[in-house]
Amino acid sequence: MQDEGFEDKAGKTILIRTEKRKLLLVGLGKLGELTVLDWQKAFAGVARKAKEVNAKTLTIALPIEELAKKTTMTPQNLIKGAVEGLSLGSYEFLRHKHEDERKKEKKIEEVTFCVDKKFEKEVQKGIEAGELSSKATVFARDLVNEPSSVTTPTFLSLVARSLAKENSEISCTVLGRKEMEKLGMGGILGIAKGSAQEPKFITLAYQPERRHQTVVLVGKGVTFDSGGLSLKKQEGMETMKLDMAGAADILALFSVLPDMKLNVAVIGLIPAVENMPSGTAVKPGDVLTAYNGKTIEVISTDAEGRVILADALSYAKKFNPSVILDLATLTGACIIALGEEVAGFFSNNRALSLSIQKAADKTGEPVWELPLVASYKELLKSAVADLGNVTKNRNAGAITAALFLEAFVPPKIPWAHIDIAGPAWAEKDTVVSPIGATGFGVRLILSYLEALGQEKKKK
Ligand code: BES
Ligand code: ZN
Ligand code: ZN
């Protein structure tokens, strides 16, 4: 190890070749400082190395008792994190590559964990949990990476329908333009006006018999964000297929919810539209009326996410929710504030924000709370409507967007908004994700829902 200059740092590896096998030593650094994300990264590194040397079977020896003692993770969570790291590190999106290249993809076929027998049960549970959350994350990645010519609002509605078809515990309803007109969902209809694609409003429901709470999840489903008439600049516009990452997260969650055996009801709401410029598009200065009757002056057609979420958040009231969470690639300002690795979140409820922070710490999807500064609400005033959709300048852009959303949240309901504009997409290759969609948010919400279930059991 000394010869090779191996350092004991999280993620560092050294490969030793023997005649029959390859032995990979993995550094973890100081165990007392090891985060869940470091742990996942270490295993993502293992997966990448294994693929590089064409290893099909992995045998992983873990001193699990010592690891559980010295880190903040339980044996079960250690295994879960290891499985997640292995899956996420080996992810590639090759659907549109030539067949020859797809065939060349090196796949890890089997992984064996060697641990002390007394942890057998926990290890098994950890494997199952890790497989489930990885499956959901990959589901979200695939949907977001797929070009927007495929993942239209109609396509998303078909994905939702097929989830309901596959599972009797899930039901799905889809509203088209006509139904939305009847209900007065003017925000979604307004943003959809410039596109040839029909907007869809998707509702997914998972309502197990034993349920003590109802969580409504709302996901921004802008299948492509050109900016509309407030057109975005050319550079980087191709990545705006990512603007349905919130919606993808919700579909991904529903793909595994029945396997989670939760005792909470979960409702998923997805306003799905394409934001395009055209002769029929919504114009700056137009006024739209949202589902709750509030009027919005569309000053920038590029601030479309908050306008469609206005309808969805106010519609959530119908389900008498105990909590509303929304996931949205909402603002570039949030990326400026927190960068690519951390999501910003906002909440009108202390207990809820603590639960979200806790869920994030447990999963390796970092979040940071930003304040809903009440005095900034004034900046959203409009001369002609109840609210303008943007403020005069870009100051505190992530906060003013969240304040706009808050105006449409049904009164007195704990709500949190998670702005995933940064971490939903990897601009550069990292060990846990190639360039493109990351599936950020899926594991965070899974962990939040899991904790909700346990809360009740304790009581
Ligand atoms: N979808 C974008 C936000 C975004 C930007 C997501 C970059 C991911 C990466 C959103 O609809 C948008 O365009 N927001 C504007 C708001 C502005 C007009 C107030 C922004 O952030 O520039
Ligand atoms: Zn936009
Ligand atoms: Zn957008």
Beta bridge partners of 332: none
Nearest-ligand number for the alpha carbon of 331: 1
Report if residue 8 sits inside a domain.
no
Residue 3 lies in a domain: no
**Same domain, yes or no, for 50 and 153?**
no
What is the total count of domains within the chain?
A: 2
Set 70, 161, 232, 294: catalytic member: 232
Residues 58 and 203 in one domain: no
The answer to whether the beta carbons of residues 157 and 163 sit under 8 Å apart is no
Query: What token pair was written down for 85?
Result: 């790291």
In a domain, 5, yes or no: no
The answer, as to whether pTM is greater than 0.85, is yes
State whether 332 and 405 are in the same domain: yes
> For 59-88, what is each residue's pLDDT tens digit?
999 999 999 999 999 999 999 999 999 999
pLDDT in tens, 178-192: 999 999 999 999 999
Q: Which of 193, 306, 362, 443 is catalytic?
A: 306
What Rg value do the Cα atoms of the chain yield, rounded? 23
pLDDT of residue 457: 57
Q: Specify whether 232 is catalytic.
A: yes
Residue bearing the CA closest to ligand 1, atom 13: 302
Strand-pair partners of 274: 224
Taking a 5 Å cut-off on Cβ, the residues next to ion ligand 2 are 225, 302
Final residue of a domain: which of 72, 107, 138?
138
Q: What is the 3-state secondary structure (H, E, C) of the chain?
A: CCCCCCCCCCCCEEEEECCCCEEEEECCCCHHHCCHHHHHHHHHHHHHHHHHCCCCEEEEECCHHHHHHHCCCCHHHHHHHHHHHHHHHCCCCCCCCCHHHHHHCCCCCEEEEECCHHHHHHHHHHHHHHHHHHHHHHHHHHHHHCCCCCCCHHHHHHHHHHHHHHCCCEEEEEECHHHHHHHCCHHHHHHHCCCCCCCEEEEEEECCCCCCCEEEEEECEEEEECCCCCCCCCCCHHHHHHHHHHHHHHHHHHHHHHHHCCCCEEEEEEEEEEECCCCCCCCCCCEEECCCCCEEECCCCCCCHHHHHHHHHHHHHHHCCCEEEEEECCCHHHHHHHCCCCEEEEECCHHHHHHHHHHHHHHCCCEEECCCCHHHHHHHCCCCCCEECCCCCCCCHHHHHHHHHHCCCCCCCCEEEEECCCCCEECCCECCECCEECCCCHHHHHHHHHHHHHHHHHC
The CATH code of the domain that includes 165 is 3.40.630.10
Structural domain that includes position 223: 145-458
Which ligand 1 atom lies nearest to the CA of residue 305? 11
Domain end, chosen from 110, 138, 166, is at 138
Which tokens is 317 given? 């009231």
Same domain? For 189 and 50 the reply is no
Residues having CB closer than 6 A to ligand 1 are 225, 243, 300, 302-305, 329-333, 390, 397, 421
307-to-149, 234, 303 alpha-carbon distances in Å: 23, 23, 7
Low-confidence ranges of the chain (pLDDT < 50): none
- Which ligand has the minimum distance to the alpha carbon of residue 237? 1
Residues in the chain: 459
46 and 159 housed in the same domain? no
Active-site residue, 95 included: no
Q: Identify whether residues 125 and 170 lie together within a single domain.
A: no
Rounded Cα distance, 453 and 456, in Å: 6
The torsion defined by the Cα of 61, 64, 65 and 71, in degrees rounded to 10, comes to: 130
- Residues 118, 245 share a domain: no
Q: Which of 138, 166, 189 is the last residue of a domain?
A: 138
